[in-house]
């Protein structure tokens, strides 16, 4: 018996070291959390902005703001932009259903969305595994969220960003509460609550579906929703707005400016003295002074003036060629204080000049 016991123990140890341990999967995408009421005031349009806020969170995620805290003003602007898009396209913005949310994304955002009816648990988890957060329309009452009166909510929209197999829970970003960051709902709760919007308090009868998302442009890359003459992929490459014909507000359509060799993102005719400019193809930076442009000779000079790279306007070669080139802003010898910037007199009032 002793020998047999020893063999059993030895075999158990050997098998235990060879067989892999079963680890239940857990994953959560770093989707930045936003509250649908950034100021904490439950008034319109914020009171019904769960759809817009969910879209905004995923847009920030695909833009690379992973795990970042989005400041209130930026969050409000993004949400209001989406409200404006809905007003433009639908004529209203309250209670958009799954198709309407997907339409707004596909029309106006540099990523895509598509609807999947009756998604399985496996399908939902797979989307998270490949890095694609999900927009989920739900019957609010079925959520039983501890931080708000879910029984009063017919229709709500949340983001699924992760899952935890060990706890059998989805990890979500729920915009209806400031405590919605990484809020956990059980698998059963999500699968039960999943319903598309139906009016007259009938969402509980809505189709079970989810809005899947992807950063890959396939079906919409050649679309031109704002009718400015640029496709979606063109707009992304040029950095222009997908929902405004005239991104820089200079009175010319984006496509018209590109076709004629001008910048669609900088109102070049409105540049003024003191503005910093450069072209996309050369590193040299110039300052505009009384209709002339003066090259800044070095980064040292640039820093001594207190300039910042965010102040630089990247203009078209065609518009740049219209300027008269002035003197370089560099160093000159000052009898009293040594080497100083060449236009120090202009900025400090001293007697040295350029």
- The dihedral region occupied by 87, where left means phi > 0, alpha psi between -120 and 50, and beta the remainder, is alpha
Give the whole-angstrom CA distance, residue 290 versus residue 164.
63
Q: Among the listed ranges 145-154, 222-231, 315-324, which one has the minimum average pLDDT value?
A: 145-154
Regarding whether 279 and 143 lie in a shared domain, the answer is no
Residue 103: inside a domain, yes or no?
A: yes
Co-location of 295 and 167 in the same domain: no
| Structural domains of the chain, count | 2
Mean pLDDT, rounded, of the chain: 89
Alpha helices in 63-216 (DSSP H): 72-89, 98-108, 121-129, 187-193
Question: Which CATH number does the domain housing residue 187 bear?
Answer: 3.90.70.10
Query: Tens of pLDDT along 32-63?
Result: 999 999 999 999 999 999 999 999 999 999 99
* Range of lowest pLDDT (176-180, 187-191, 209-213, 336-340): 336-340
Q: Which domain holds residue 349?
A: 271-354
What mean pLDDT comes out for the span 323-331?
89
Provide the pLDDT for residue 307: 94
pTM to 2 decimal places: 0.82
Residue where one domain finishes, among candidates 194, 214, 234? 214
Token output for 128: 């998270």
Strands 134-139, 155-164: parallel, antiparallel or unpaired by DSSP? antiparallel
Query: Does 278 map to a domain?
Result: yes
Predicted local confidence at residue 291, as pLDDT:
87
Same-domain status, 46 and 150: yes
The residue out of 214, 238, 259 marking a domain boundary is 214
| 14 has pLDDT over 70 | no
98-108 vs 72-89: helix axis angle to the nearest 10? 100
Q: Are residues 153 and 57 in the same domain?
A: yes
Q: Is the pLDDT of residue 9 over 50?
A: no
179 and 279 share one domain: no
User: H-helix or E-strand containing 340?
Assistant: strand 338-341
Of 150, 159, 178, 145, nearest to 72 by C-alpha is 178
Tens-digit pLDDT profile for residues 226-235: 999 999 999 9
pLDDT band at 350 (very low <50, low <70, confident <90, very high): very low
The number of beta carbons lying within 10 Å of the beta carbon of residue 223 is: 16
Q: How far from each other are the two terminal CA atoms of the chain, in whole angstroms?
A: 102
User: At 15, is the pLDDT very low, low, confident or very high (cuts 50, 70, 90)?
Assistant: very low
Q: pLDDT per residue over 97-138, tens digit each? A: 999 999 999 999 999 999 999 999 999 999 999 999 999 999
Residue 8 lies in a domain: no
Taking the C-alpha atoms of residue 203 and residue 139, their distance in angstroms, rounded to an integer, is 6
Same domain (yes/no): 187, 330: no
Other Cβ atoms closer than 10 A to 128:
20
Residues 6+ apart with CB under 8 A from 79: 34, 36, 38, 45, 46, 49, 52, 53, 56
Shared-domain flag, residues 186 and 279: no
Q: What is the pLDDT of residue 344?
A: 47
Same domain? For 193 and 290 the reply is: no
Q: Which residues contact 8 (CB under 8 A, 6 or more apart)?
A: none
Closest CA to 177 of 36, 52, 39, 48: 36
């Amino acid at each position: 018996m002793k020998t047999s016991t020893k063999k059993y123990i030895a075999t158990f140890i050997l098998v235990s070291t060879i067989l892999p341990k079963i680890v239940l999967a857990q994953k959560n995408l770093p989707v930045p959390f936003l509250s649908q009421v950034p100021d904490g005031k439950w008034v319109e349009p914020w009171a019904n902005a769960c759809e817009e806020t969910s879209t905004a969170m995923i847009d920030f995620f695909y833009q690379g703001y992973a795990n970042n805290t989005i400041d209130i003003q930026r969050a409000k602007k993004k949400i209001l932009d989406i409200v404006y898009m809905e007003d433009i396209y639908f004529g209203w913005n309250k209670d958009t259903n799954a198709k309407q949310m997907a339409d707004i994304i596909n029309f106006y955002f540099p990523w895509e969305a598509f609807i999947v009816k009756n998604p399985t648990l496996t399908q939902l988890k797979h989307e998270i595994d490949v890095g694609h957060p999900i927009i989920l329309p739900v019957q609010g009452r079925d959520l039983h969220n501890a931080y708000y009166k879910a029984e009063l909510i017919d229709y709500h929209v949340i983001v699924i960003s992760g899952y935890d197999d060990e706890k059998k829970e989805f990890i979500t970003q729920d915009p209806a509460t400031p405590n919605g960051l990484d809020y956990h709902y059980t698998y059963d709760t999500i699968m039960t609550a999943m319903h598309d919007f139906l009016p007259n308090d009938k969402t509980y009868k809505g189709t079970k579906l989810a809005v899947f998302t992807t950063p890959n442009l396939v079906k919409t890359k050649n679309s031109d929703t704002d009718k400015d003459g640029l496709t979606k992929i063109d707009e992304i490459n040029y950095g222009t707005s997908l929902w405004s014909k005239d991104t820089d507000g200079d009175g010319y359509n984006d496509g018209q400016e590109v076709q004629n060799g001008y910048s669609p993102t900088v109102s070049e005719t409105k540049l003024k003295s003191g503005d910093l400019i450069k072209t996309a193809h050369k590193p040299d930076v110039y300052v505009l002074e009384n209709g002339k442009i003066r090259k800044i000779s070095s980064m040292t000079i640039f820093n001594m003036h207190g300039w910042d790279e965010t102040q630089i306007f990247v203009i078209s070669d065609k518009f740049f060629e219209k300027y008269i080139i002035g003197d370089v802003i560099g160093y000159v010898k000052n009898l009293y204080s040594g080497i100083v910037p060449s236009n120090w007199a202009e900025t400090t009032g001293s007697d040295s000049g350029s």
